[in-house]
Each structure stands twice: as structure tokens, then as C-alpha cells.
Structure 1
């Protein structure tokens, strides 16, 4: 199972357009990423060590602003690149065999800013990777890459056709699947034991679908105050990752 079928946005043909200093420099540093063309201000480009074969076009701030959506902060740099290659779930699980890094599973989290922020948190807490559905997750895009602040290039992201089947494969690899939901009776800290953990989070508002919950070994909640109903999914993911890493230490 991989991440086939997603379509990059805002690029030429099948290419994806990325912008902003962190997203661009991370893409340039990623040996798995093929950058086809770069636009930038002279000042921003002067700070980069670019390969001689790179196609570079000097542009002013106004020109770059027309290449990105709305008021996107491009910081003087825009690139077009090929999408990243598929990451396969079986390969990721085999790669992580024997370690205790947590895995994140997202059930129909579609907002690119949330998924980008989750990628960033996953990188910060050294997660094994994230798993999403292919059709109900955002594609690679400039907005997602900027929210990820470089983590799009470093954090393995598996897209699967069938999330329930993927959760079964994750269980077979030895992970304890904990679904985060406010109606659980136990807290996440109580649910985390000595085994490898896969944290399953649903979309903000709707939460996990019933079939996704049915494929978790246990449901757990974050011990938040009654003053708020719930947390943004990216905030919840960051807290859950910290709890998982702390529990494994």
C-alpha cells in the first residue's frame, strides 16, 4: 500500500510548487526530491549554494507573489519540483522493526495546514512516519510544505487505499493501536504500555470513523480541561507524540 493517486497542486503538469525558505532549502537538500526550476529574488538566491545545473530565474517580490496563492509568505523563493516517490507501508514497518518510535495514523484529516503541522511534530519527536488515506488527505502543496517547515522532505508519509486494512497490517507488525477520542474512559498515559504505539487521530469535528475505531486496540483521551471541548488535531497529535515518546523512555 502506498500513496498513489494524489495530485500535486499549483505546479506545471504533475509538478508541485513549493515556497518559503524552510520548505525550499529542505527540498534542495533532499536527495529524493527532483527540483526542476527555481525563481527567487537576488538577495534570497545569494544565500543559497545552488548546483550549477539548476535552472534559476531572477524575479522580484511582486512576480513571486503572483506565483503563489493569496498572501502566501514566499520569502523570495519559489520552486517547481517532481512529487516525492511513493512510500510503502510494508517498507516503513520493516524499517522501524526493533525500535520504539511511534507511528501516526490520520483518519480523513484533510486540511493541509494541519497535516503540515503534524508532519513537523512527527519530525520533532522522531516518529517512524505518518499514515493517511490516499483519497481523504491533502496532496503535496506549498501550503502543506510551509506548515511542515521542512518535515515534508524528511518524514515518511504513507498513503493507503484502505485505512482499516492498513491498521491490520500495523497490528501484525507489533504496534498497539490507540485511537484518540474524547469519549474514551482511559487517558493516553494510562493506555501507553511497553509495546510499540500507533496513535490514531480523526478529523477535527467528526473524529474517527466507527470502522477506524473498531480497528484500534484501545481508545484513549487527552486529559484536557472541561473549559474547552477539544483540541485542534495538530495540537492533539503533538501532545500525543510527546506522551508516547515519554512513555517509551
Structure 2
């Protein structure tokens, strides 16, 4: 059938002739600029710019590159954060006054980080001198690195060594007879913690223990507040204070809680000669309900009606002093 292209072998013939000017291999092909250049060969293309920059970098002579750290800082854009590998691990103390105070108190540290070209005043000079005296490594770094660790560092940072906690069992193993132990129930202020450690050392306590969670840790602030007592006073962290109190009772300790609301005063406590665990509550809430129930005796310290309460460290110091005086009298 004429015009039927569906039969086998049929080929539809185009009625149009060869297209002129298409670049085909005929007499009327285009005479243009040739094939389209690659992207990297086009001057204004991003690929061409990357290629040019790479060639320029490859042909740069190593001898013309400055090896001066200061020149590097000037020509290279400063990183906003310090390289992860160079960041001190654990706690840091930043700022000229804070670092100097920590070094004066011999807070255990791992290194002193100082910014290059730092304006050396009396505080920085003394900090460097103390670090050398303590045998502490001193590392210079770009100011951008130091500020990346702490924006308010004033160009100097002290990396603090993590505190090595003891255990309740170790504290009891070194306790003299009659034992005296201080337990903290939710004390969150590190300065209070340090002051309590200082008082515990002054009045012959075997150690201080506290919970791992919701409590202050032995930070640089706590160490400074202890005035060095933390170096010789065992401090333990426990996971559950109630269970630790039960264990203390089994070891023969008499558990005494401090609470400003108690009707029993410290003057009525007649057990100073016995092994004692003093339990101190938090600054605001005092003893937790379960902790209070676990205590054998809950006492208060009489104060003037015009004063609302004593903070945890002051109350602990008074209680420890009372026990120490009673034991001295026999």
C-alpha cells in the first residue's frame, strides 16, 4: 500500500533536503571558531581560575616563602578557633589575674599557654617565673589560637590537670580512731567546697566525700579556696550518698546531719568521742529528704534572728571545731 511505512524494511523519507550551515560535512558548513573550548581554557570560567591558581602555587619557589611565624600570621588569615589537636584537655584558667593566682596556689597544671607578642606586664612575668619554678611546660601559640580557646584570656591560659579522686573505702582505711569524715549533699559552689576541704584538713578529718552529680567538683576555684589543703586531703566522689551513709553506719560511724531547721542544737551533741560522719546540705535547699532520714542525729547551729542562715562552709567549720574541741577535752 502506498505510503504505508509500517511494513518491514520500510524507511520514512524526509521531504527536507540537507540542512545548510549546521556544521555538517557539506559545502555549506559553518566557518566559525572551531570546537567549544574546555571550561579550564576559558579565561573567565571558574575552572580556569582554579587551574591558574594551582599552577601559580606549584611554580612558587620554596625559598621565597617566609619561615617567620609572624610573617605567617600576617599573610595567612587567622583561624577563628584553635586546631583541635592543640586545645588543652580538661579545665582551663584564663586571664592574667586568674592564672597568676592559680600558679601562686600551685594548682596542678599541665601547661602554660602564652600568645606570641603578648604585652608582658608584672602579672605575666611572674606567671612565667612561677611556671618555670614549678617545672611547667610553657607553649607559645598564635594569638588567634589562644583567643579561640578563651576569648577573654588576655593572651595567657593555664591548663589544669584533672583531679585524682579517692574512694570512700580509701578514706576509711586511713582514718584515725575515732574517725571523722565530711559528706556533702548537693553543695554546688566550688568555693564552698574548697573552704570545706580546708576546714576538714585543719580539724583532723580523714576525708571529704560528695556525689558525682549535682555537686561541685574539684576545679581550680575549689583548689584555690582550699589554700593547698586539697593536695593532702583525700576527696572522694560517690554515686549514691544514701548507700554510702548506710555503709558508713555498718563501719560504726555515727551520722550527724547539719540543718538550720532542727530543734536539736550542736551544744546537745554528746557523741564527739564516737566515729562521726558530718553530712552538710546544699546552700539553698539543705539536706535532701532521704539523706535527712538516714542521719542518726540532725542538729542546727544557733544564730542571731537577724541572720537568715550560714553558708555550707561556715556551718561545717563550726561543727568540725566543736567536735575537735570536745575530743581534745576528752
Question: Fold conserved (TM > 0.5)?
Answer: yes
Structure 2 alignment gaps of length 5 or more: 1-85, 115-123
Matched residue of 2:133: which SS? coil
- 1:218 corresponding residue in structure 2: 297
- 1:246 corresponding residue in structure 2: 325
- 1:185 corresponding residue in structure 2: 263
Give the whole-Å Cα distance in 2 for the aligned partners of 1:20 and 1:125. Answer: 30
Detail structure 1 runs of 4+ shifted over 6 Å in the superposition: 63-70
Contact 1:22–1:149, Cα closer than 8 Å, also in 2: no
Give the whole-Å Cα distance in 1 for the aligned partners of 2:234 and 2:244. Answer: 15
Matched residue of 1:99: which SS? coil
- 1:79 corresponding residue in structure 2: 158
* 1:140 and 2:218 are equivalent in the alignment: yes
Q: Which has the larger radius of gyration?
A: 2
Within 5 Å, give how 1:18-33 maps onto structure 2.
18=93, 19-20=98-99, 23-24=102-103, 27=106
* 1:55 and 2:134 are equivalent in the alignment: no
Matched residue of 1:228: which SS? coil
What do residues 85-107 of structure 1 show as CA deviations (whole Å, max 9, x unaligned)? Answer: 231111111111x4335211111
* 1:38 and 2:120 are equivalent in the alignment: no
**Residues 1:171 and 1:38: Cα distance change in structure 2 (over 3 Å):** same
Identify the structure with bigger relative contact order (alpha carbons < 8 Å, sequence gap 6+): 1
**Which of 161, 173, 187 matches 1:94?**
173
What do residues 98-145 of structure 1 show as CA deviations (whole Å, max 9, x unaligned)? Answer: 433521111111122221221222222232111111001123323222
Matched residue of 1:212: which SS? helix
Structure 1 alignment gaps of length 5 or more: 1-10
**Which of 192, 216, 219 matches 1:114?**
192
Give the whole-Å Cα distance in 2 for the aligned partners of 1:156 and 1:191. Answer: 26
**Residues 1:166 and 1:39: Cα distance change in structure 2 (over 3 Å):** same
Let me know the Cα RMSD of the aligned residues.
3.2
- 1:171 corresponding residue in structure 2: 249
**Residues 1:23 and 1:192: Cα distance change in structure 2 (over 3 Å):** farther
Contact 1:108–1:203, Cα closer than 8 Å, also in 2: yes
**Residues 1:168 and 1:219: Cα distance change in structure 2 (over 3 Å):** same
- 2:288 corresponding residue in structure 1: 209
**Which of 199, 205, 228 matches 1:127?**
205
- 1:229 corresponding residue in structure 2: 308
Structure 1 residue 187: deviation in Å?
A: 1.6
Tell me which protein shows more strand as a share of its residues: 1
Matched residue of 1:195: which SS? coil
What do residues 122-172 of structure 1 show as CA deviations (whole Å, max 9, x unaligned)? Answer: 222232111111001123323222222223333211111110001111122
Give the whole-Å Cα distance in 1 for the aligned partners of 2:235 and 2:103. Answer: 18
Q: How many residues align?
A: 225
Structure 1 residue 22: deviation in Å?
A: 6.0
**Residues 1:67 and 1:154: Cα distance change in structure 2 (over 3 Å):** farther
**Residues 1:138 and 1:113: Cα distance change in structure 2 (over 3 Å):** same
Structure 1 residue 77: deviation in Å?
A: 8.1
TM-score by length of 2: 0.59
- 2:36 corresponding residue in structure 1: none
Give the whole-Å Cα distance in 1 for the aligned partners of 2:197 and 2:99. Answer: 17
